[in-house]
Structure 1
Amino acid sequence: MISHDLVRNKLYEEFIKPTNQVKDFIGIEIEIPIINLNKQAVDFNVVHKITSEFQKQYGDFKADGIDYDGNVFALKNPKTDDIVCYDCSYNNIEFAMGKEKELFSINERFCDYYSFVKESFEEYNHTLTGMGINPYRKYNINKPIPSERYLMLYHHLKSFKNYNNIPMYFHKYPEYGMFSSASQVQLDVQKDTLIKTINVFSKIEPIKALLFSNSVLIEEHNHLTCFRDALWEYSTHGVNPHNIGAYDVDFEDINDLQSYLESLNIYCVMRDGAYINFPSMNLLDYFAREYVRGEIYCNGEYRKIDIKPCINDIKYLRPFKFINLTFRGTVEFRSICTQPIKDSMCVAAFHLGLKDNLDELSYIIDNDDVIYHNGYTASELRKLLIHDEVPSFIDKNGLCRLSGDIVDLAAEGLKERGIGEEIFLNPLYERIKKHTNPGKDILQSIQNEISIEKIINEYGKIY
């Protein structure tokens, strides 16, 4: 058994202490679905060919992940820390851009990589597109990348049938990581602003849903513009609701935040380079046990194994909150769907512009009565605003004004940087003007009998 004090100290060391460093970098990860235009499963042989072609084209990239079949699933450039990899399965490609001080250099490299990969795929009648749910998911082979992490993750998600007597239901898509894509941003944060950053950004999740939703589960849930939220919430990641979604509490101080970290669940650790799954359980309960029974993948099958918890297992605590505190001293914003490719930088621009204007952002929220202060939490408001229609009790014009005020504040923050990054916010102004977002545009296009192929092409354009 490991004492509560030791767990608390270790959580501080891993999550809070790194924020003592004074840095100001931006990191961006963009996941993008791969589509076989023949309306067949993505050809993994084509994927592997293009991975090889990419490495030849960009010689500084070296293999950073090789699966059990000998295929490269991750390439990394040690000079820039850029990573091009496949996320969960070979149906999704991810561009994880190395940290930079500004957005233009990130955008330039991303556009370069994306253009090369997309053009390469098109030689095989495949393509890439900026949609948060793969519109051709029903044709794909939903197999995880045969590697330690992705086999563990899928095994965890498939285990939902083993959970009984818990007050939730599970959806029928344990393979959702193989067809859903996100646009994530990491920003350095200092300890003295950490609590305010989490508190204030948590409150604008409804506005982010309104501006950025782009995950339509076509033919199944055509009334939702961001079905990704439900995919996380009603999976085994959501067994403990504290592990997913927004923070619906205001933290008073670092102690409050640490207590929240203690309330999270853990579901895997590693021993001797191998992942071990076990039923999702509270972190403190895990460390209070002498042994935990889990499952380890070995020679193509899973077998039972007993493990003794050790304090370093905290590094395998992986919640999937809308705002995650990482081991690197950053906050990761992860509630936004992949955007139409030409708009990819608007996600980072929005967060970056608001990061140093927390007091002003808090003032806007505190003085709003269009959606806030009407009896709804931020999480409840987000669930309302991912529908194709805004609820009748919300004034649509007022909602546009509120969204515009927040985007204006982001623009002011970017202008203060004096680099010109506010140009990346232009797509958001266009969405506010038209009372829409990419997910609503997809639903409207389908209603207008515009082909899904035309939408795929439009959302995949880089300019």
Structure 2
Amino acid sequence: MKTEDLVKYKLYNEFIKPTTQKKNYIGVEIEIPIINLDKKAVNFDVVHKVTDKFQNEYPDFKTDGIDFDGNVFSLKNSKTDDILCYDCSYNNIEFAMGKEKDLFSINERFSEFYNFVKKSFQEYNHTLTGMGINPYRKYNLNQPIPSERYLMLYHHLKSYKNYKNIRMQFHEYPEYGMFSSASQVQLDVHKDNLVKTINVFSKIEPIKALLFSNSVLFGEDNTLTCFRDILWEYSTHGVNPHNIGGYDVDFKDLDDLQAYLESLNIYCVMRDGAYINFPSINLLDYYSREFVSGEIYCKGKYRKIDIRPCLEDINYLRPFKFINLTFRGTIEFRSICTQPIRDSMCVAAFHLGLKDKLDEMDEIIKNDDVIYHKGYTASELRKLFIQRDIPSFIDKNDLCRLTREIVDLASDGLKERGIGEEIFLKTLYGRIKNHTNPGKSFINSINNGVRLEKIIEDYGKLEAL
């Protein structure tokens, strides 16, 4: 078998074949900024103390990751698969909840862990808040966790100055992983629904921007409600536009989806437990080469190294699409910012409710003339809708009606599950009624003289259902 055919076979086995299993689980990951209320850098010694305290309180969480300095950056409960870890840096904590059949179980454990961790941080005048960009980022040390994965990632993002032969504008925030936070959802989607799920959900990315945007680059840009989109698109992750953002194509079938996977870029692999970076390159081009030149981290420095591509390198293919296929046989929705903590479950509820309403959602979009059929793609509309002000060619009342129709559909989907999870959508109706989202509310509060500290406190509150 030719190398190209082997690569295609491997892609299919890793990304599409796992979706042949009939499962129906929910996975939720919530990244949350850590704030030092003294307006100084987050104290990493405090972070490590809180991690130790959490492990003492919850002994079922075992050490799952230790950095090069001997500090724990990941704890995992093997019974529930819950993970408490730090994402990219010790400025950002993540609660990755193990898969469950219902949202109440996830919310109960998340709430317990969040309350414990927040109270532990408050003992040192630190806190947590529900924002997609750390509002105190200017005080923090932008240092990656000293581990294979995060040193590699930061090195890759810093390499944007080396891409001189492509026409692309890069931003100057290669450390953005250390101050941006997302709320991600993974759902089991069967192979039969894979293409339609991606096609239909891609069309509502503009609506999701309206509902969930919550990452304002405070102090530098108060016009965008979801600056996270910019951070991903104009970084080295966006060298190949297929690796980031939405899908502006309708897949006809699984062969089309497979072809899209083949169009992705790869930028890292591992050899003998060490990551190797190289300039972002199309996957099939990578496998057409006998050797690829990269860099490896060794004893505090990077040195050049040549590697021979091998089939297992596909395991390190890391696209960052708004909708990602994963090795677990799930679809991961990753375009949404961390929400105010009291609203954390609204993200999973929205996607879960719509998952089995594809035909109805597709019908709404096909018949829509509020945002579609005006010359704009879904990606272009999303870029317009992360602005503080909606474009004048969109009727705001009609837009609210369309948005409510989508949320109503999600609510119907949850009601049919018969568990009561539709309660988690309540906050979205308030946002629709008030023509707002957390990012807009943040900007309006600042413009109206509300102290930043007050907003941080408010967005960090966890309220009972």
TM-score category, normalised to shorter length: over 0.9
Does residue 167 in structure 1 map to residue 161 in structure 2?
no
Q: Any unmatched runs of 5+ in structure 2?
A: none
CA deviations 1:205-248 (Å, max 9, x no partner) are 00000000000001111100000000000000000000000000
Within 1, Cα distance between the matches of 2:430 and 2:368? Answer: 22
1:264 aligns with 2:260: no
Q: How has the CA–CA distance of structure 1 residues 6 and 45 changed in structure 2, closer, same or farther, with 3 Å as cutoff?
A: same
- Aligned with 1:413: secondary structure? helix
| Residue of structure 1 equivalent to 2:185 | 185
CA distance in structure 1 between the partners assigned to 2:59 and 2:9 by the alignment: 43
Mapping of residues 245-256 of structure 1, within 5 Å:
245-256=245-256
Q: Does 1:417 align with 2:441?
A: no
Aligned AA (2:418): G
Within 2, Cα distance between the matches of 1:10 and 1:79? 31
Stretches of structure 1 that go unaligned for 5 or more consecutive residues are none
Q: How many aligned residue pairs are there?
A: 463
Aligned 1:42-81 pairs, distance under 5 A: 42-81=42-81
Is 1:136 aligned with 2:136?
Answer: yes
Structure-2 residue corresponding to 1:91: 91
**Is the partner of 2:229 in helix, strand or coil?**
helix
In structure 2, the residue matched to 1:20 is: 20
Q: Name the aligned partner's letter for residue 116 of structure 2.
A: F
Please state how far the C-alpha of 1:165 moved relative to its aligned partner.
2.0
Tell me the residue number matched to 1:121.
121
- In 2, the alpha carbon distance for the partners of 1:49 and 1:220 equals 33
- Hey, what does 1:210 align to over in structure 2? 210
Q: Secondary structure at the match of 1:342?
A: helix
| 8 A Cα contact 1:182 1:338, kept in partner | yes
User: RMSD of the TM alignment (CA)?
Assistant: 0.7
Indicate the residue corresponding to 2:219 in structure 1: 219
Whole-angstrom CA distance in 2 between matches of 1:258 and 1:368 = 29
Q: How does 1:19-418 map to 2 (within 5 A)?
A: 19-418=19-418
Aligned partners of 1:306 and 1:97: how far apart in 2?
38
8 Å CA contact 1:268, 1:275 repeated in 2: yes
Does residue 4 (structure 1) correspond to residue 9 (structure 2)? The answer is no
Q: Distance in 1 between matches of 2:414 and 2:372?
A: 26
In 1, Cα distance between equivalents of 2:168 and 2:203: 25
**CA shift at 1:4, angstroms?**
1.4
Match of residue 441 from structure 1: 441
Q: Distance in 2 between matches of 1:318 and 1:188?
A: 19
Q: Deviations over 1:285-320 (max 9, x none)?
A: 000000000000000000000000001110100000
What are the superposed Cα offsets for residues 418-440 of structure 1, whole Å, 9 maximum, x if unpaired?
Answer: 00000000000000000000000
**How far off is 1:54 after superposition?**
0.1
Q: Which residue of 2 aligns with 1:458?
A: 458
CA distance in 2, matches of 1:164, 1:15: 32
Change (3 A) 1:2 1:143: farther
Letter in 1 for 2:115: S
Residue type matched to 2:210 in 1?
L
Tell me the alpha carbon deviations over residues 238-265 of structure 1, each in whole angstroms, 9 at most, x when there is no partner. Answer: 0000000000000000000010000000
Distance in 2 between residues matched to 1:165 and 1:105, nearest whole Å: 50
Q: How far does the alpha carbon of each residue in 1:307-357 deviate from its partner, in whole angstroms, 9 at most, with x for none?
A: 000011101000000000000000000000000000000000000000000
Q: Structure 1: which amino acid aligns with 2:15?
A: F
**d(CA) in 1 for partners of 2:352 and 2:2?**
39
**Secondary structure class of the residue paired with 1:186:** strand
Structure 2 SS opposite 1:133: coil
Q: Which moved more, 1:147-156 or 1:1-10?
A: 1-10
Runs of 4+, deviation exceeding 2 Å: none
Distance 2:301 2:262 in 1: 32
**What is the deviation of 1:3?**
1.9
Tell me how far apart the structure 2 counterparts of residues 207 and 48 of structure 1 sit (CA, whole Å). Answer: 39
Match of 2:318, as an amino acid? R
CA contact (8 A) 1:187 1:331 kept: yes
**Distance across 2 between alignment mates of 1:458 and 1:118:** 14
Q: Which whole-Å CA distance do the structure 2 matches of 1:313 and 1:28 have between them?
A: 27
Give the drift of 1:373.
1.2
1:2 CA displacement: 6.0
- Could you say what secondary structure the match of 1:398 adopts? helix
1:426 and 2:415 aligned: no
Letter in structure 1 aligned against 2:322: F
In the alignment, residue 404 of structure 1 is paired with which amino acid? R
Q: Contact 1:295 / 1:302 at 8 angstroms: preserved in 2?
A: yes
Distance 1:432 1:320 in 2: 28
Contact 1:2 1:288 in 2 (8 A): no
Q: Is the 8 A contact 1:132 1:214 kept in 2?
A: yes
The CA deviation string for residues 96-127 of structure 1, in whole angstroms up to 9 with x for no partner, is 00000000000000000000000000010000
> Post-superposition shift, 1:374?
0.8
Q: Is the 8 A contact 1:266 1:317 kept in 2?
A: yes
Contact 1:2 1:287 in 2 (8 A): no
Cα distance in 1, alignment partners of residues 198 and 2 from structure 2:
29
Look up the equivalent residue of 1:49 and give its one-letter code: K
Amino acid at match of 1:23: K
- Output the amino acid matched with 2:374: N
Return the alpha-carbon distance in structure 2 between the equivalents of residues 2 and 49 of structure 1.
Answer: 53
For 1:219 and 1:155, the matched residues in 2 are separated by: 26
Instruction: Give the fraction of aligned pairs with identical amino acids, expressed as a percent.
Output: 78
Cα distance per residue 1:358-411 (max 9 Å; x no partner): 000000001110101111000000000000000000000000000000000000
